[in-house]
Structure 1
Amino acid sequence: MGDITAALLELPTWRAFDVDDQGRVLAGSDATGSVQLVELAAGRTRELTALPGACRGRYLPGERAVVVEHDQGGDECTRLSLLLLDPPPAQPAGLAGLVTLVADPGYQNRLLEVLPGRIVYATNRRNGVDFDVVVRNVATGAEETVYAGGGYVGQIAVDAEARRLVVTVPGVPAMSDQLLVVDTMPATEDDRVRALSDAADPARYEHPQWSGEQILVSTDADRDLMGIAVIDPADGSRRWLATDDGIDLAGLLTPDGRTLLLLRAEDGVDRLVLHDAASGARRGEVELPGAGVISRPAPEPVLAPGSRYAALSFTAPGTPGDVVLLDLDDGTARVLTHSAAAWGGPTLVRPTSHRIPAPDGEQIPCFVYRPADPDGSAVLVLHGGPESQAVRSFSPVVQALIAAGHTVLVPNVRGSTGYGKRWYSADDVERRLDAVADLAALHDALPGLGCDPARAALWGASYGGYLVLAGLAFQPQRWAAGVDIVGMSSLVTFLENTSGYRRAHREREYGSLEQHRAFLEEASPLARVDDIRAPLVVIHGANDPRVPLSEAEQLTAALRGRGVPCELLVYPDEGHGLAKLPNRLDAYQRAIAFLGEALRARARK
């Protein structure tokens, strides 16, 4: 079993970070053990970086150079560097081969946009909490802070004259944004920042783009599902370009304004359809091999400045992760990488889609993966977020669990995106334990799926790790074992100890320490730790800035004090999750073996 798990974990994945006007794709590949930059061009793969940890990047427009974003040991204190490609490096560049642009130890510098000769980035170096938007001249190093309104900064778009920016910042409700326009050369300071939406509105604004004098944005303002709207920055008025009452839509417009790439999110499958932007006429759907879906949370499709090319990251249950180059002139798609070519094991399993009834009448979306020879056990794999979505993508952990004989359920419990605003808001603050109750509903459905409810386990990372611990603590009679990866054991200590810039951002979702402390304590697994009796593996990165290592340490100390089997695996060179292959091989093989033994032990009783 360990050989299959290792082989699955060792399959390479690819993702598209950028594409230029010659059709060269700047991609990320983890073939060397962590995500490094490579260039895919003219049938050739050129390795560009060999950094100590994972990185990402963008081409600098009009130059043979790449802006590289990287951190140290997963601490998320990102720095920005320049990698020159003319001439290309003889060997993949290490840290010494990069030219430092922005480096502030202990602070984040997050790349937002690249412009000819300039980069736009968000930094919290002013006070460690608030993010400012800075434009930097790459050649001279001159910088201008163009937005310093406080709080977190999400996405931006820069107009053709590089004078106006659209900026998204968190709104007041959970999972909401406010849309701002920033004028870098205002007539008066009062004209510098204007709000195009109300911060109190429960609405998301994603993928903002300038379309001439208008703003194209994907939003669920005044709707349950995402649609594509055009907003007039003069008065904030909105008209809908595309909506669908059954699914979320997202849109990307080519820089020349001629082609709209429409992403249709259909129950865990993202389909890409091309439309003529002027007439709205459909040009056709992009066919991806192997029933592939556009990868999430991998990068969205990226567009070349000249608008001819788009590069897509895609995945499917049998495709770890590949890059496709799309020629928008003729609509042809060419697969540039072949991540599944090295797989020689059993057929990788595709899921079936289900709706699991909850006692309150809700229906929980769930993907079910069935092994060819099931042994009757079940493992629920829970995604993070909670503002995220499980999709029909490749997961080495899911496929390894299937190969071990477990039926795997991958649900989108309430709080998940992809099924409308009402669903992703259904776990906010005092409704947190409603999401935990969804685990019980999923457990109740196991007999109908051919599984023994006495042999069911939980696996999850980040918020999914919280759900694992909450399931074991609040429903101890239901679950035989658990694997918690970088999860929160106490919502109170998590909020007290997470990075300062994240606290206010996360309090919108979980509740504030000032107003909701009693409920946060009540909803914390640590408050019910005496009820946990299932054995547990806890995995954590020592440098995690989001969920501090102390969350794992306090839980395992409490369980060991009561004699509950609990193994803590800490990786000193990791942050919020495991980015390096040797660590994944060690942790996940041990965790999968642990679950197999724990669930077999239940069968023997």
Structure 2
Amino acid sequence: MLQSLLALPALIAFDIDSEGRLLVGYDGSGIRQVHEVDVDGNWRALTALGERVLAAKYVPGSRTVIVEHDTGGDERGQLSTLDLTGEGLPELLPLVHDDRYLHHLIAARHGRVLFTTNRRNEVDFDLVALDLGHGLESVLYDGGGFVSTVDASPDDRWVLVTRGGGPANSEQALLIEAATGAVTEVTGFDDQVFIGTVSWLPDSSGVLLSADFDRDRLAVLRYDLGTRALTEVVADGKRDLAGWASPDGEHLLVSANEDGEVALALHRIDGEFVAPIDLPPGGCGAILVESDPRWSADGGHVVLTYSSPIEPQYVIRYSVADQETVTVKAPDAPELPDDLRHPVTDRVPSFDGEEVPVFVFRPADGGDGSAVVLVHGGPEWQSSKIWNPLIAGLVEEGHTVVVPNVRGSSGYGKRWYSLDDRDLRLDSVRDLAAIHAWLPSIGVDQRRAALWGGSYGGYMVLAGLAFQPELWAAGVDIVGIASLVTFLENTSAYRRTVREREYGYLATDREFLTAASPLNRVDAITAPLFVIHGANDPRVPLSEAEQIVAALAERDVPCRLLVYPDEGHGLSKRKNRLDAFPQAFAFLREHLAS
């Protein structure tokens, strides 16, 4: 069963053109590639690389596509072009290539491409406009910082940039005048603001931001260029909202995140509600980290990615005129197992009276009494109600799977995602102990509970085993952090500047970083550990996995390390997932047996 679950293909929406044709990412080959789906539902493969495609966008007014792709999971995006005027598989032609640096595709406009790059000093990301006709580049922003969101105004006079650089998760929004480079601060670092989506009004008079400026929850706000004021468009004090303005200025697509389930609705551009978008219940109508919803140029259609705990990602096209949706799935998509189930949502009381949101996935027969607590990465990410074949496979094995959003997670407001910052780091680990204490209330044998997590979730696995050695029977660590000190010392330069804000600074917080590192409590670890890592990981270096495994081997603690030479921060290639995860499942089967 696990092999078939891991082999289920997934789609994500990349773009939609003025004719209604779609660019989608599809991993039917085992590695995500770009395909075009025309208005009649016919598919055409556009790439056949041995590496994944990260993004793709149409160049308006042409049959040219810009593609971002990396090598071996190194995240050093390179930009290439595809000419779709011919038949068959188009040739991939280099556009911006230098594999020493990262290049991230921001937008494709008439005759030009916007991208960010860290090639100036490897740390800061500059915004560059490339003229497709003459090949000339112009720098629109080089003011430093980790640039996370960029959007240029329709009249090309302005660019709105959001960058990290303040404390913890705080971001700053900057308005840049393209002709002069003059910068206006929209929000400052002192405001402790997280900024999500950005979209301009079609007349370039203002820009919409999804932000938690002066509030706990993300709301859709308007920044007016005339008054230089931020005003509220759509807000909900109990849910995080994001918004995308239509290119014709008529409508606003709004997503609402409620406990990991994301609903979508159509509003007028002034925020007035029009209608909900009919989506299957219990899932997410916007997977923001990979694929924001995209409007067609005329504002008549939206293309988005949908997923739920019982359905792998697929694409939906929504028509504004008739308020109907059309599902786009791969022509060779297999039938799904009929016993997949939605989770039950619960709250777990923690050590200080806070309540940790959790999703509980139970086998149909109640399970065998064992449990796997699966912790997300980030740390400021959120476990959402989306497809995860690992959860489905663990449930099929008989385990109850508990998926928490420990303090520090997004999706529950600014206060919640700030509760693990800097010297509060170990409070999130204490949430794991609270979950362990709660397990008997759902019929789980506490002696047969394991931790599973990737990236920061991998740190949480190691921290749970190190700081709570009497609680956990085993751990599965995927690309996790063993030492906060060596992680910050050895990660990519651009990552260090971002992550020190969240974890602490090497220059001033080394004592705490050392104390909070599982590697420095390795003598306490007794539970067996299974570790998976990519050799090209630019975020959490392979040395993090190697040093914890070596330390445990010296102490005769059962430990195994799988390293994949063609992967980075996680396993993006199906062949590697099919190799690694069955071995991890067998490891849990052995150590959680009754």
What per-residue deviation string (whole Å, max 9, x for no partner) do you get for residues 547-585 of structure 1?
A: 000000001000001001110000000000000000001
Question: In structure 2, how many angstroms separate the alpha carbons of the residues matched to 1:339 and 1:8?
Answer: 18
SS in structure 1 at match of 2:151: strand
Q: 1:504 to 1:19 in 2, by over 3 A?
A: same
What per-residue deviation string (whole Å, max 9, x for no partner) do you get for residues 426-476 of structure 1?
A: 000000000000000000110001000000000000000000000000001
What per-residue deviation string (whole Å, max 9, x for no partner) do you get for residues 152-196 of structure 1?
A: 11111111211210111114121111111111112xx6xx11211
Aligned to 2:207: 215
What per-residue deviation string (whole Å, max 9, x for no partner) do you get for residues 311-364 of structure 1?
A: 010001111111001111221100011699523545112100001100200000
Structure 1 residue corresponding to 2:474, chosen from 467, 476, 481:
481
Structure 2 residue corresponding to 1:98, chosen from 73, 87, 92:
92
Q: 1:363 to 1:340 in 2, by over 3 A?
A: farther
Kept in 2, the 8 Å contact 1:302–1:310? The answer is yes
Work out whether 1:132 is the aligned partner of 2:130: no
SS in structure 1 at match of 2:187: coil
Kept in 2, the 8 Å contact 1:14–1:339? The answer is no
SS in structure 2 at match of 1:168: strand
Structure 1 residue corresponding to 2:45, chosen from 33, 47, 55:
47
Aligned to 1:203: 193
Aligned to 1:519: 512
Kept in 2, the 8 Å contact 1:171–1:202? The answer is no
Alignment of 1:557-572 (within 5 A): 557-572=550-565
Question: In structure 1, how many angstroms separate the alpha carbons of the residues matched to 2:67 and 2:273?
Answer: 36
Question: In structure 2, how many angstroms separate the alpha carbons of the residues matched to 1:195 and 1:105?
Answer: 33
Offset of residue 233 of structure 1: 3.0
Alignment of 1:389-428 (within 5 A): 389-428=382-421
Kept in 1, the 8 Å contact 2:351–2:430? The answer is no
Question: In structure 2, how many angstroms separate the alpha carbons of the residues matched to 1:205 and 1:315?
Answer: 24
Offset of residue 292 of structure 1: 3.6
Alignment of 1:284-295 (within 5 A): 284-289=275-280, 291-295=282-286
Alignment of 1:288-307 (within 5 A): 288-289=279-280, 291-296=282-287, 297-307=289-299
Aligned to 2:26: 29
SS in structure 1 at match of 2:411: coil
Offset of residue 206 of structure 1: 2.1
Aligned to 1:429: 422
What per-residue deviation string (whole Å, max 9, x for no partner) do you get for residues 273-326 of structure 1?
A: 101224x43221111236442243331211112211110100011111110011
Offset of residue 23 of structure 1: 1.1
- Gapped runs of 5+ residues in structure 1? none
Kept in 2, the 8 Å contact 1:367–1:411? The answer is yes
SS in structure 2 at match of 1:583: helix
AA of the residue aligned to 1:67: I
Alignment of 1:104-115 (within 5 A): 104-115=98-109
SS in structure 1 at match of 2:244: strand
Question: In structure 1, how many angstroms separate the alpha carbons of the residues matched to 2:330 and 2:575?
Answer: 22
AA of the residue aligned to 2:100: G
Alignment of 1:23-422 (within 5 A): 23-41=20-38, 42-55=40-53, 56-88=55-87, 90-91=88-89, 97-186=91-180, 192-211=182-201, 212=203, 213-234=205-226, 236-278=228-270, 280-289=271-280, 291-296=282-287, 297-337=289-329, 342-343=334-335, 345-373=337-365, 374-422=367-415
Question: In structure 1, how many angstroms separate the alpha carbons of the residues matched to 2:335 and 2:92?
Answer: 35
What per-residue deviation string (whole Å, max 9, x for no partner) do you get for residues 506-565 of structure 1?
A: 100000001100000000000101111111110000000100000000010000010011
Aligned to 2:16: 19
Kept in 1, the 8 Å contact 2:165–2:498? The answer is no
Question: In structure 1, how many angstroms separate the alpha carbons of the residues matched to 2:347 and 2:401?
Answer: 15
Question: In structure 2, how many angstroms separate the alpha carbons of the residues matched to 1:544 and 1:497?
Answer: 11
SS in structure 1 at match of 2:190: coil
Question: In structure 2, how many angstroms separate the alpha carbons of the residues matched to 1:227 and 1:176?
Answer: 16
Kept in 1, the 8 Å contact 2:426–2:516? The answer is yes
AA of the residue aligned to 2:291: P
SS in structure 2 at match of 1:155: strand
Kept in 2, the 8 Å contact 1:227–1:243? The answer is yes
What per-residue deviation string (whole Å, max 9, x for no partner) do you get for residues 74-116 of structure 1?
A: 111111000111114x23x5xxx21111011210011111111
What per-residue deviation string (whole Å, max 9, x for no partner) do you get for residues 399-445 of structure 1?
A: 00000000000000000000000000000000000000000000011
Question: In structure 2, how many angstroms separate the alpha carbons of the residues matched to 1:75 and 1:405?
Answer: 35
Aligned to 1:509: 502
Kept in 1, the 8 Å contact 2:343–2:361? The answer is yes
Structure 2 residue corresponding to 1:591, chosen from 559, 584, 593:
584
AA of the residue aligned to 2:45: E
What per-residue deviation string (whole Å, max 9, x for no partner) do you get for residues 112-159 of structure 1?
A: 111111100011111111111100011221000111101211111111
Question: In structure 2, how many angstroms separate the alpha carbons of the residues matched to 1:27 and 1:218?
Answer: 25
Q: 1:577 to 1:455 in 2, by over 3 A?
A: same
SS in structure 2 at match of 1:543: coil
SS in structure 2 at match of 1:360: coil
Q: What is the TM-score with the length of structure 1 in the denominator?
A: 0.95
Q: 1:487 to 1:339 in 2, by over 3 A?
A: farther
Question: In structure 2, how many angstroms separate the alpha carbons of the residues matched to 1:598 and 1:86?
Answer: 57
AA of the residue aligned to 2:21: R
AA of the residue aligned to 1:512: Y
AA of the residue aligned to 2:135: G
Offset of residue 235 of structure 1: 5.0
Kept in 2, the 8 Å contact 1:165–1:182? The answer is yes
What per-residue deviation string (whole Å, max 9, x for no partner) do you get for residues 484-523 of structure 1?
A: 0000000000000000011111100000001100000000
SS in structure 2 at match of 1:446: helix
Q: What is the TM-score with the length of structure 2 in the denominator?
A: 0.97
Kept in 1, the 8 Å contact 2:7–2:574? The answer is yes
Kept in 2, the 8 Å contact 1:118–1:138? The answer is yes
What's the C-alpha RMSD, in Å, of the aligned pairs? 1.3
SS in structure 2 at match of 1:434: helix
Kept in 1, the 8 Å contact 2:123–2:497? The answer is no
Structure 2 residue corresponding to 1:10, chosen from 7, 13, 19:
7
SS in structure 1 at match of 2:592: helix
Question: In structure 2, how many angstroms separate the alpha carbons of the residues matched to 1:340 and 1:456?
Answer: 38
Question: In structure 1, how many angstroms separate the alpha carbons of the residues matched to 2:272 and 2:508?
Answer: 51
AA of the residue aligned to 2:171: D
Kept in 2, the 8 Å contact 1:215–1:232? The answer is yes
Question: In structure 2, how many angstroms separate the alpha carbons of the residues matched to 1:149 and 1:298?
Answer: 26
Q: What is the percent sequence identity of the aligned residues? A: 48
Question: In structure 2, how many angstroms separate the alpha carbons of the residues matched to 1:464 and 1:244?
Answer: 29
AA of the residue aligned to 1:565: P
Q: 1:202 to 1:424 in 2, by over 3 A?
A: same
